[in-house]
Structure 1
Amino acid sequence: MMLNAALLVTTLLAIIMKVQAATLPIRILTHNIRYAADPPATGEKPWSTRKQLILNELHYNTLHNPEAFICLQEVLNEQIVDIMAGLGDEWAYIGVGRDDGKTEGEYSPVIYRKAIWELVTWKTVWLNEDGAVGKKGWDAGSVRIVTIGTFKHMTSKKEIVAMSTHFDNAGAISRRESAKIIEGIAADIASPASNFSSTGLPFFLAGDLNSEITDDAYMMLNNASSLLQDTKEQAKWLYGDENTYTAFDDVDKSLIDFIFVGPRGEGDWSVEGYSVLPNRFEDGVYASDHRAVVVDGVLEV
């Protein structure tokens, strides 16, 4: 009887370990941190004041989530230097300045832990008619990009594609056409024998779309025929505010920052939680004119 009991315990432990090993928890944080404006806008503190607030947010929300990805927008070169120095050497990033493909203009970086994720390949895609570096597309007021990285989990060997983007605020056509480009990229990622994988890969898209949920760009990315799906719709738990943009006065509010996962309907992802974090506390200082969005997902391996 004792032998049978011991065997039962061993079997149960093996089953538990197998179940645990079959899933990979991943936290995704996306935040438009507001570029280092000089001079700052009304109600805005300079980057020298705001940067520690952003670093505190990033540290705290990834402290016990080793598989976390951080996706940022509106990051100037001086800001990515400050952020990477503040996060420490365990972290690395992919991304370039959108104006010249090097250091000029805003980055939309993906930041990851080097000991957890192996960077397989990465690239920046310019969101314009022909993908030309530093070119504005359609009716856009600014140059727009998406940063794309393929990562392999060191332990499980599971591969995933991460994307960070920032759509145009001025051009509705640009946002719509950018969404079409993203859809094409997502189809390539999910397809067997694609540029990304011989089997197709799970992916996520994080960023500031400058598109509310009634806007064409969001609806294109989140409709039933799209490969992407808004994590807020899937999450078992919702926490925090509704709106992600607040300006520096908490008056002009909107929901324009999102995290999508895909491919839709494939069963790779289970979204446990979705939250919108505060961007101002009792000190009255806005860390950014946007709030961060944090999603806890579980990926099958």
Structure 2
Amino acid sequence: MTQGSVRLMTWNIRYDSQPDNVTVQETVGSLPDPLTEPVSFLNLTGEQPWSTRRIRVYQRIIGEDVDMIGFQEALERQYDDMHELLGDNWGCVGVGRDDGAVSGEFSPIYWKKSIFTLLSNDTFWLSETPFDAGSKYTNAGSVRIATAAHFLLNASGKRFTYINTHLDDQSDKQRQYGASLILWRARSEASRGSTVIVSGDFNSPTVGNEAGAYRIITGQISPLAVNQTFQEAYAVHGRGVVDFKMLDLRTQLPSISVAGNWATYTGFNGPEDTREYSQIDFIFGGNNGGWNPILHKIETQLTDDGVLASDHRPVIADLQI
């Protein structure tokens, strides 16, 4: 990695749909000898329990030498497990979307304390009443949130804002409204001179009938009108940034620096079954600048034994901030 850069990751790690009582230490203690060849390659198929998948998530993070992560779909157990695995050298913030505490899925942010200092953080709900914990957009499939945090880059003293989110999987209108709220908040931060990074599972492709959220966040179409109280709480300073929008990092690099895979969502199908492949997970940077992209890549989540760490692949970007 280029000197002076930081490595960001966004990853929907799939909620703990098959809960059990296996502890992190029990999973670690049952790991096979790394020199022993699997009994057979790709012998496991389909979704595996979180107690199996969590080690693969951790190993990918450490193997890629990631500095900051935005997860999606993490339940309280998963939030705690990743904190335990990553250790005290990492910080983390996030709340459960259903109650603003521990119930429901988190969209948490983790960071290396040696590289970043957390200055403040908050959560807002992607609904018509964004300050009401547990509120859901009309006719959306689920409650949706965004986690916002202000950080100091320790080496340079540079400050930046990071917003991590997960938009709805059923309502395109919610996705568009959620993207509009996030864009407003990002524009407000930018108007105060902050570099802004946004990441998450947008459930919105780059083109097609369900691309509204992607097109709004990237400035291709106008955002929806959002809650007035939210606008006042995050007012735009002065005139703000003219034509503010978020830029998809992979579009800001030469093709040779956009590596790895294309699809970010694969499902838990076998590696030869590509019917569900799509590109819906992104890392964006505000067009007010303050960041310089170096590399973008979409990594695999499959290991030789057939375990898929998630139904999404991790998206990674190297940036100078």
TM-score by length of 2: 0.79
SS of match in other structure, 1:125: strand
2:171 maps to amino acid: G
SS of match in other structure, 2:54: helix
Q: Which residue of 2 aligns with 1:50?
A: 53
Q: Which residue of 1 aligns with 2:251?
A: 233
Q: Which residue of 1 aligns with 2:266?
A: 246
Q: Deviations over 1:78-118 (max 9, x none)?
A: 01111111011100111101011111100001101123211
Residues 1:207 and 2:200 aligned together: yes
Q: Which residue of 2 aligns with 1:270?
A: 292
Larger radius of gyration: 1
Deviation at 1:127, TM superposition (A): 0.5
Q: Deviations over 1:13-56 (max 9, x none)?
A: xxxxxxx9xx941211010000010279x810001111100010
CA distance in 2, matches of 1:162, 1:93: 13
Q: Which residue of 2 aligns with 1:10?
A: none
Percent identical? 37
Deviation at 1:226, TM superposition (A): 4.2
Q: Deviations over 1:100-146 (max 9, x none)?
A: 11111000011011232111110001100011110111221000000
How much is the aligned-residue C-alpha RMSD, in angstroms? 1.7
Deviation at 1:227, TM superposition (A): 2.1
Q: Which residue of 2 aligns with 1:257?
A: 281
Q: Structure 2: which 5+ residue stretches go unaligned?
A: 21-44, 221-242
Contact 2:195 2:289 in 1 (8 A): no
1:58 maps to amino acid: I
Contact 2:19 2:50 in 1 (8 A): no
Q: Deviations over 1:125-176 (max 9, x none)?
A: 1100011110111221000000000011223111011111000000011000
SS of match in other structure, 1:186: helix
Contact 1:138 1:173 in 2 (8 A): no
Deviation at 1:269, TM superposition (A): 1.7
Divergent runs of 4+, >4 A: none
1:277 maps to amino acid: E
2:63 maps to amino acid: Y
Q: Which residue of 2 aligns with 1:88?
A: 87
CA distance in 2, matches of 1:156, 1:298: 11
